[in-house]
């Protein structure tokens, strides 16, 4: 859902930061996002954020789903699932409902899991 307007995420709309692109700044979107270049800043999306194999991200993310193949330094607030794929490097803090990690991931940080059925989680999602 759109962070501000309650609209559904459009499944075919994807914001993309391509290889050899460097970006600095904050972004807010209701659509999915993929980073294959370098991005430093804060991202807020109502959908999925993907950090590709060549992607490097530094900052704070608020999203529904996060998939990481590349490098991530910072804080993650994912409403549902964070997934680290083989070769991913993470340094930071995660707040999520579910965490998945493949063999070969470098994880340096902290993970705080929240229960989707708790009163606190229900109040935050409303």
Provide the 3-class DSSP secondary structure of residue 32: strand
- Whether residue 8 is contained in a domain is answered as no
Range of 94's domain?
14-125
Buried b (16+ CB within 10 A) or exposed e, 46-70: bbbbbbbeebbbebebbbbbbbbbb
pLDDT tens profile 25-72: 999 999 999 999 999 999 999 999 999 999 999 999 999 999 999 999
- Whether residue 7 is contained in a domain is answered as no
End-to-end CA distance of the chain: 11
Surface-to-core class of residue 87, CB atoms within 10 Å of its CB (0-12 exposed, 13-18 middle, 19+ buried): middle
In the predicted structure, residue 79 carries a pLDDT above the cut 90: yes
Residue for token pair 């992607």:
55
- Whether residue 5 is contained in a domain is answered as no
In the predicted structure, residue 10 carries a pLDDT above the cut 80: no
**How distant, in Å, are the alpha carbons of 32, 65, 69, 79, 105 from that of 112?**
24, 15, 21, 12, 18
- Whether residue 22 is contained in a domain is answered as yes
- Whether residue 76 is contained in a domain is answered as yes
> What does the pLDDT read at residue 6?
54
- Whether residue 45 is contained in a domain is answered as yes
- Whether residue 3 is contained in a domain is answered as no
Question: CA-CA distance, 28 to 45, in Å (whole number)?
Answer: 6
What pTM did the predictor assign? 0.83
Question: CA-CA distance, 24 to 118, in Å (whole number)?
Answer: 36
Query: How many structural domains is the chain composed of?
Result: 1
- Whether residue 2 is contained in a domain is answered as no
Length of the chain: 126
At residue 2 the predicted structure's pLDDT band, cuts being 50, 70 and 90, is very low
In the predicted structure, residue 88 carries a pLDDT above the cut 50: yes
């Amino acid at each position: 859902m759109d962070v501000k307007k309650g609209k559904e995420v459009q499944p075919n709309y994807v914001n993309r930061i391509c290889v050899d692109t460097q970006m600095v700044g904050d972004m807010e979107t209701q659509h999915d996002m993929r980073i294959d270049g370098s991005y430093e800043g804060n991202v807020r999306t109502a959908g999925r954020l993907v950090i590709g194999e060549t992607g490097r991200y530094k900052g704070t993310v608020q999203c529904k789903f996060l998939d990481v193949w590349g490098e991530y330094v910072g804080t993650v607030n994912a409403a549902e699932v964070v997934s680290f794929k083989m070769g991913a490097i993470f340094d930071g803090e995660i707040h999520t409902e579910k965490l998945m990690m493949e063999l070969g991931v470098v994880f340096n940080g902290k993970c705080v899991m929240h229960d989707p059925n708790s009163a606190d989680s229900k109040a935050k999602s409303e």
